[in-house]
Amino acid sequence: MDPISLLRKATPVLVVERIEPVLGFWHKVGMKAVTEVPGEGGLVFVILAAAGLEIMYQTAASVRTDLIASSCDPGAFRSGPQQSTLYVEVAGIAAVEPQLQGERLVMPRRKTFYGAVEVGYADPAGNIVVFAERQA
């Protein structure tokens, strides 16, 4: 069997100090929490989903107690929050920008050499989210 045919889906898991601050950012563009795992002091894990897109957030404390504690190679994991960059294709940039008004703009709208129109924001945890409209 071709190894690629074994793959079904890839979902980023963003490691953050706290999950609650990022929820509003994603709600503004239509993402909803479909799974929430509460812990001491708030959520420790969440799956956000909409229209075939899925993003997971997990707290650094949960990574330490869940993943690192059960790992055969604990040194492979970073135990604190990490910055990630997500590239999210959208149907139209013009519809995204008003929804994220007031959020931290880190890359003003631009047209790339490969024909995409992009705009980038930082989520409240410091991850960079680049929204891109591909030109036909």
Confidence of residue 75 (pLDDT cuts 50, 70, 90): confident
**Amino acid found at 40:** E
What is the residue whose two structure tokens read 């409209």? 133
Take residue 16 and report the two structure tokens written for it.
Answer: 């953050």
Q: Is the pLDDT of residue 101 over 70?
A: yes
The pLDDT score that the predictor gives to residue 29 is 96
Please state the rounded mean pLDDT for residues 76-104.
93
Confidence of residue 79 (pLDDT cuts 50, 70, 90): confident
The pLDDT score that the predictor gives to residue 1 is 60
Q: Is the pLDDT of residue 62 over 90?
A: yes
**Amino acid found at 122:** A
- If one counts every other C-beta atom within 10 angstroms of the C-beta of residue 113, the result is 5
Q: Which domains does the chain have, with CATH numbers?
A: 3-134 (3.10.180.10)
pTM above 0.85? yes
Looking at 14-23, 61-70, 80-89, 116-125, which range is the least confident one? 61-70
Taking 3-state DSSP, the helix, strand and coil percentages for the chain, each rounded to the nearest 5, stand at 25, 40, 35
Please state the rounded mean pLDDT for residues 16-39.
97
CB 116 within 8 A of CB 130: no
Please state the rounded mean pLDDT for residues 65-76.
87
Per the model's pLDDT, the better-predicted residue between 69 and 120 turns out to be 120
The pLDDT score that the predictor gives to residue 74 is 84
